Amino acid sequence: MIEQQLEELRERLRQKSPNTVVESQQMPNGGALIKVSNVDLNGGWNRPTAEVLFVAPPGYPGAAPDCFWVEPGGLRLANGATPQASNDGNPIPGDPMAGRSTTWFSWHVQGWNPNVNTLAGFYQLILDRLRPAR
């Protein structure tokens, strides 16, 4: 299930952002850490691109993804302010790369339906949070 949805996400991104790369890494808890590289932030941030990370938790798709992280840490608005509902001190649970520098976004999907919702849809929700910068 996850591999098929990752391929769907890769295909969508190939069409829109050919420089974007999607990687997946199994986590010790049975979930998958998904990393989307070279994400264009579309202005309003202290840098033009970032790496976006999110977790497909154990039990996915029955268990919904929740929150996301941006690497490297220290993502700020262009004026230097901290983004809404974010902080740099909340690591990825079970991250296989200890000490990774990230900015955590408390961003939650509402009404997750495992028969309809996908990783590509969750990634779109992440983009909707990052664009516009706030």
For 98-110, the pLDDT digits (tens) are: 899 999 999 999 9
Neighbours of 67 (CB within 10 A): 19
User: What is the reported pLDDT for 4?
Assistant: 96
SS3 6: helix
Q: How confident is the model at residue 1 (pLDDT cuts 50, 70, 90)?
A: confident
Q: What is the pTM of this model?
A: 0.95
Q: Is 31 exposed, middle or buried (0-12, 13-18, 19+ CB in 10 A)?
A: buried
For residue 57, name the pLDDT band (cuts at 50, 70, 90): very high
What's the helix, strand, coil split of the chain in %, to 5?
20, 30, 50
Distance between CA atoms of residues 7 and 114, nearest Å: 17
pLDDT digits (tens, 9 = 90+) for 9-43: 999 999 988 889 999 999 999 999 999 999 999 99
